[in-house]
Structure 1
């Protein structure tokens, strides 16, 4: 039977192939709405079929929400976590109808999740019009997702990829139409005259929806996606959006320590994981408590765990480095006098450097700070390294300055 998936959805960056603004630079912003149709709020009941309501998550669609209003060809714009990140548990949909359950191989339906995006380029709209239009976009996505679920109300099978694509295409079309209606409805008579004739409207670069489900994530825990809007279809320039879905069906974290999720993409065998996880949890329950400053490092590492797990699934060098650290954990944690070797530091720094290069701002800052921290503890004993990290912080002033105190 299908099990819940610990899901992370990330929109990571918007790449500008051509800004399309002639001699000027572009000012992109992004609308994103995340949704899920799953066992949190849906069930298949006898006689009624699929009933429930979707979970829909929005943020803001304001001008400048990408934090970069001066973008030229060849540049990447990082998508902030606040508008491009969705973390949840994706649950199979229980089937309480015995007849339908008997037709299903796993006696439930996979939960479906997705994100609908619209890339925009700021020109002449007032800020209030961008905000109103985003609200219309959110409402349209919510209504369309409700309609998608209704389409499958009495289906005796999970939606096929073709059925799901057709439904998602309707979501995009409905959202675009609703936004156009909202734009006109929000304009006064003067704005309608101006923007309908001479005014410089904000440009729609393009709209897209990305979806996955429990079954797909169980088969492939890391799913990258992207969409390029070339000059032929974009309202302005040539742009490409990148992101990924990541999920694992492992048990939930123990006391907030999601070791299973963090190392799920490694090829380490269960015996090694058992020894290493046991050593880590024993350390957490004893020595860890003697260094209060370590809690901030651990919290920052757990915040970055979805990105680390995704990197382990898509980058072989990161995966090998995590496997090295996992294998060395019992040795380091068993004896406080054990030396932190150069190969231990190199493995940690490679992982952190890759994290810094590909992560949202918060994880990037932590990773950069941690790279400097590991450079300071190379050659020291484990006990000396813990003392240094306990006095340092994963954010703020430089670690080197603290080390000299």
Structure 2
């Protein structure tokens, strides 16, 4: 059954098995384009079939966009959030054709989302050619995704994995052809002569497309993916890209921070979860409103939710820390005189430490600041801890002096 999914696509790191540049280190950069075909912009109309336009999200494909131009064999390059992350609500596609609707259990089609990626290695191109190449890549992905949707226009079933694979293979092929044409068309006469004979062109390490849909994310809320371009498949070197899809039907918790997707990975039973969530909602509607400064902490936590959910699915110690904090919520939030215990701080510390190790920059800063903040409130009452957090900031090099406790 197709459902609405609050989901994130994240490209996490590019690993260099062999930089392939001989003397000197490699300078990788990444072209990424995210897309979705879902109920935001598509509908199945009687007589017309699937109609609409895909949502395409791009960023930049400039030289140096990974922030590391000195990469050697064995190095990991973190993909910045600005070019490697896309968050959205993935919606089922409504079916307004009674006959086609009767073929599906819930009367609609699952929304599809994905990312098309090309890993590049900088050599001789000027920056303008890299930018022109990325523009061509974006346009090619857009046109190819439109064609993919048109291929399914009159389908009487949700696309199968084999059909989706065949479609994304078309996307990859179309993108590669368009980029070569665009780059050649952008070269002036001297560049055509130079790069066509002696010049050192930038290398296309490889292209891949990763996709998922509402049904797949409902069945498996965390889906890791990777693609290795080795010496046989890459133009130069041996590289491997890693990422994941994460998705949940989320519920509202204090301050708009939806954490059900995080706690869904724990082993806590539903009665415990509901008891703890009730305590959080009561806290949100009462005490939380008395400390306006807490809102920035909840907003920062919301930004980090995709990484928290992924950690909860893949790290047993993180799950155990979440289970402790979930069980402690009624005790901690129910009485302003209740003390923050050492095991509460230890659970938060482990969780935030793991978050800081795997997150994009903003979530990493929030996690590091949270570690420092929890160290300050250990042994304090809830009222003292809330006052401290309300006066501190969730991101920064150090906690504000005015927020510190005098030990």
Q: Which of the five TM-score ranges fits, normalised by the shorter chain?
A: over 0.9
Query: Given that residues 31 and 118 in structure 1 are in contact (C-alpha distance below 8 angstroms), is that contact kept between their aligned partners in structure 2?
Result: yes
Partner of 1:201: 201
Find out whether 1:274 has 2:274 as its counterpart.
Answer: yes
Describe how 1:102-181 pairs up with structure 2 within 5 A: 102-181=102-181
Partner of 2:38: 38
* 1:111-149 residue CA offsets vs partner (Å, 9 max, x unmatched): 111000000011111111101110000000000001101
1:265 Cα deviation after fit:
2.1
Partner of 2:344: 344
Partner of 1:388: 388
1:98 Cα deviation after fit:
1.3
* 1:33-58 residue CA offsets vs partner (Å, 9 max, x unmatched): 00011111111111111111111111
Q: Distance in 2 between matches of 1:38 and 1:94?
A: 9
SS at 2:241 equivalent: strand
Query: Given that residues 254 and 280 in structure 2 are in contact (C-alpha distance below 8 angstroms), is that contact kept between their aligned partners in structure 1?
Result: no
Find out whether 1:312 has 2:306 as its counterpart.
Answer: no
Find out whether 1:96 has 2:96 as its counterpart.
Answer: yes
User: Which stretches in structure 2 are left out of the alignment for 5+ residues?
Assistant: none
1:285 Cα deviation after fit:
2.4
Q: Distance in 2 between matches of 1:337 and 1:294?
A: 18
Q: Distance in 2 between matches of 1:75 and 1:97?
A: 53
Describe how 1:4-403 pairs up with structure 2 within 5 A: 4-251=4-251, 256-399=256-399, 403=404
Q: Distance in 2 between matches of 1:252 and 1:349?
A: 24
Q: Distance in 2 between matches of 1:23 and 1:348?
A: 46
Query: Given that residues 259 and 277 in structure 1 are in contact (C-alpha distance below 8 angstroms), is that contact kept between their aligned partners in structure 2?
Result: no
SS at 1:114 equivalent: strand
**Larger deviation, residues 203-212 vs 383-392:** 383-392
1:392 Cα deviation after fit:
1.8
* 1:76-122 residue CA offsets vs partner (Å, 9 max, x unmatched): 11111111111111111111111112222332111111000000011
Q: Distance in 2 between matches of 1:253 and 1:9?
A: 23
SS at 2:201 equivalent: coil
Q: Distance in 1 between matches of 2:368 and 2:231?
A: 37
SS at 1:322 equivalent: helix
Q: Distance in 1 between matches of 2:370 and 2:136?
A: 42
1:254 Cα deviation after fit:
7.7
Query: Given that residues 257 and 299 in structure 2 are in contact (C-alpha distance below 8 angstroms), is that contact kept between their aligned partners in structure 1?
Result: no
Q: Distance in 1 between matches of 2:268 and 2:345?
A: 20
TM-score where L is the length of structure 2: 0.96
1:255 Cα deviation after fit:
5.9
**Larger deviation, residues 175-184 vs 370-379:** 370-379
1:269 Cα deviation after fit:
2.3
Q: Distance in 2 between matches of 1:365 and 1:14?
A: 22
Q: Distance in 2 between matches of 1:7 and 1:385?
A: 32
Query: Given that residues 253 and 281 in structure 2 are in contact (C-alpha distance below 8 angstroms), is that contact kept between their aligned partners in structure 1?
Result: no
1:399 Cα deviation after fit:
2.6
Query: Given that residues 256 and 299 in structure 2 are in contact (C-alpha distance below 8 angstroms), is that contact kept between their aligned partners in structure 1?
Result: no
Q: Distance in 2 between matches of 1:289 and 1:97?
A: 48
Query: Given that residues 29 and 119 in structure 1 are in contact (C-alpha distance below 8 angstroms), is that contact kept between their aligned partners in structure 2?
Result: yes
TM-score where L is the length of structure 1: 0.96
Q: 1:392 to 1:249 in 2, by over 3 A?
A: closer
Q: Distance in 2 between matches of 1:250 and 1:291?
A: 25
**Larger deviation, residues 254-263 vs 199-208:** 254-263
Q: Distance in 2 between matches of 1:102 and 1:335?
A: 53
Q: Distance in 1 between matches of 2:250 and 2:405?
A: 43
Q: Distance in 1 between matches of 2:225 and 2:316?
A: 19
Q: Distance in 2 between matches of 1:29 and 1:191?
A: 21
1:400 Cα deviation after fit:
8.1
Q: Distance in 1 between matches of 2:49 and 2:262?
A: 37
Query: Given that residues 16 and 74 in structure 1 are in contact (C-alpha distance below 8 angstroms), is that contact kept between their aligned partners in structure 2?
Result: yes
Q: Distance in 1 between matches of 2:259 and 2:301?
A: 11
* 1:211-245 residue CA offsets vs partner (Å, 9 max, x unmatched): 00111001000001111111111112111111100
**Larger deviation, residues 171-180 vs 267-276:** 267-276
How many equivalent pairs are there? 405
